[in-house]
Structure 1
């Protein structure tokens, strides 16, 4: 796979779970395993898959860009081979993320200047979306069945 990455900030974008033979420096933090892509620059990366199958993860490693630049890489079995489990009816990647009202770099600068813990995100996202929004009030109630089912399922699968 070839990836052409353009950036307006210093960043690196490793692919986690990919062995990357002959290119071990393509995974890791900036200034340690590789120099970051400079603002306005681009980086061509050759990603060599060997035996990987399944869903892998990529994200930025620079400062807090790792909180906002991420995604899934879905690798299907080679033709003529089967999954190591029953074939799924569908593949639906679920990517959990965070969202802030303020600019992420302002939050990072405040965190570095104060030495205190950074602000937690203002919302969590699923596949980049904040989820359903409801018109709530103190005089009304809202059933949480779907939320509870999701939390139960999430805990069983991921924890």
Structure 2
């Protein structure tokens, strides 16, 4: 994070972790950035499940460096484990091996209709 390196890193190194039930506000000053960026947690393996997109539009009065899209469809990819992600990490550390691979890949937080944990009626008919 340009201009804010003390709030971008592992807990207890660059900042204290955010306690459950508390709030944290991150002020971001942008200058020349535009496009879609990705944010994620840094605490243990919460980064596996706490992430999202930040969409930065061109400044008012400027044009896109390409033809303006007809519409926007943010797509956020992730992973899902049947077990707690910290337990998966701990098992990998205890054995010295790689952590177990995820049980499913996610698109916008949903693993699709082949898994019982998707929202009812989840369909992945993207317009491309």
TM-score, normalization by structure 2? 0.80
Alpha-carbon distance between aligned partners in 1 of 2:110 and 2:21, rounded to the nearest angstrom: 28
Show the counterpart of 1:79.
60
Deviations 1:86-118 (A, max 9, x none): 111111111111001111122122222222210
More strand by share: 1
- Does the residue aligned with 2:89 lie in a helix, a strand or coil? helix
| 1:112-127 paired onto structure 2 within 5 Å | 112-127=93-108
| 1:139-158 paired onto structure 2 within 5 Å | none
1:52 aligns with 2:33: yes
1:68 Cα offset (Å): 0.6
1:69 aligns with 2:50: yes
Alpha-carbon distance between aligned partners in 1 of 2:10 and 2:48, rounded to the nearest angstrom: 14
- Does the residue aligned with 2:94 lie in a helix, a strand or coil? helix
Q: Which structure is larger by alpha-carbon Rg, 1 or 2?
A: 1
Moved over 3 A (4+): none
The number of equivalent residue pairs is: 117
- Does the residue aligned with 1:120 lie in a helix, a strand or coil? coil
Unaligned runs of 5+ in 2: 116-125
More helix by share: 1
Alpha-carbon distance between aligned partners in 1 of 2:107 and 2:36, rounded to the nearest angstrom: 16
- Does the residue aligned with 1:71 lie in a helix, a strand or coil? strand
- Does the residue aligned with 1:44 lie in a helix, a strand or coil? coil
Show the counterpart of 2:119.
none
Alpha-carbon distance between aligned partners in 1 of 2:29 and 2:80, rounded to the nearest angstrom: 32
